[in-house]
């Protein structure tokens, strides 16, 4: 069977490459099944991965969107199940207790943009294009576009992009805060992503996981509620061996060696 996702791991960093270049890496139900299995493995306690890069194969697309041909004959019930599959995948990406970087070269449209936004942050090349063009097909974003885009760019810009279906280039994506950095080519982008994840790898895995949980759990809460989440995360660090090692290493003026628990 054709592997729809290529997985490679080096120095604790796993790269997941969507592998449908002939379909511009379009998302299908079968691809979601394969990706879900991988993401569940990455969540297992003790799994030896400290960071993830999500990218697409070929030179044209990160993920050009959902597979329109696959959706053409779907009933409303099948469409709802497909939306649920995509939402489960974006939720799994968001919930991974390790940093996840989307590396976008070419199109990140519709579901592609939605998967990228479920990662911790986005790097892209100068060739990248982003958009939620679902309205041009009589559809709505369904993998989190209406929910997450406003978190990146604000409600007004999100509405404009979703209502018009307009595509934006890498420069505009950087200006409005959708992406973190823009690179001249894919090799430079992937090298920078690996470097950042290796920097993260030298920090406390427990603390990073709790920071990610706090940021994600703060959305939609009042300031007081969000501060309560943050305070509870801080308390949990005091229960960890990472905190003991980090503080002791600081006092002893040596690099910390975090056990990750």
Catalytic positions, written as ranges: 114, 134
Calpha distance 129→148 (Å, rounded): 17
Calpha distance 196→102 (Å, rounded): 12
| Beta strand spans in 99-142 (E) | 100-104, 107-109, 121-125, 129-131
Q: What angle do CA 119, 117, 217 make, to 5 degrees?
A: 70
Contact between 119 and 136 (Cβ < 8 Å): no
Place of tokens 């490459």: 17
| Beta strand spans in the chain (E) | 5-10, 13-18, 51-56, 61-63, 100-104, 107-109, 121-125, 129-131, 168-169, 181-183
Residues in the chain: 261
9 closest CA partner among 57, 42, 32, 44: 42
Contact between 43 and 89 (Cβ < 8 Å): no
């Amino acid at each position: 069977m054709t592997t729809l996702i290529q997985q490679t791991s080096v120095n604790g960093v796993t790269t997941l490459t969507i592998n449908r270049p002939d379909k511009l890496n379009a998302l299908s139900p079968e691809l979601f099944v394969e990706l879900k299995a991988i993401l569940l493995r990455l969540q297992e306690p003790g799994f030896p991965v400290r960071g993830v890069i999500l990218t697409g194969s070929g030179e044209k697309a990160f993920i050009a969107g959902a597979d329109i041909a696959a959706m053409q004959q779907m009933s409303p019930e099948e469409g709802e199940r497909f939306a649920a599959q995509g939402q489960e995948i974006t939720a799994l990406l968001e919930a991974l207790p390790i940093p996840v970087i989307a590396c976008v070269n070419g199109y990140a449209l519709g579901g592609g943009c939605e998967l990228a936004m479920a990662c911790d942050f986005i790097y892209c090349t100068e060739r990248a294009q982003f958009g939620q063009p679902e309205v041009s097909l009589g559809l709505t974003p369904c993998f989190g576009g209406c929910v997450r885009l406003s978190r990146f760019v604000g409600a007004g810009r999100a509405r404009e992009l979703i209502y018009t279906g307009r595509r934006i280039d890498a420069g505009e994506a950087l200006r409005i805060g959708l992406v973190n950095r823009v690179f001249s080519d894919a090799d430079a982008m992937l090298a920078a992503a690996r470097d950042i994840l290796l920097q993260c790898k030298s920090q406390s895995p427990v603390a990073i996981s709790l920071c990610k949980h706090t940021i994600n759990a703060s959305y939609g809460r009042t300031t007081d509620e969000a501060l309560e989440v943050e305070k509870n995360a801080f308390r949990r660090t005091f229960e960890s061996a990472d905190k003991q090692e980090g503080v002791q290493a600081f006092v002893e003026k040596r690099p910390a060696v975090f056990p990750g628990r």
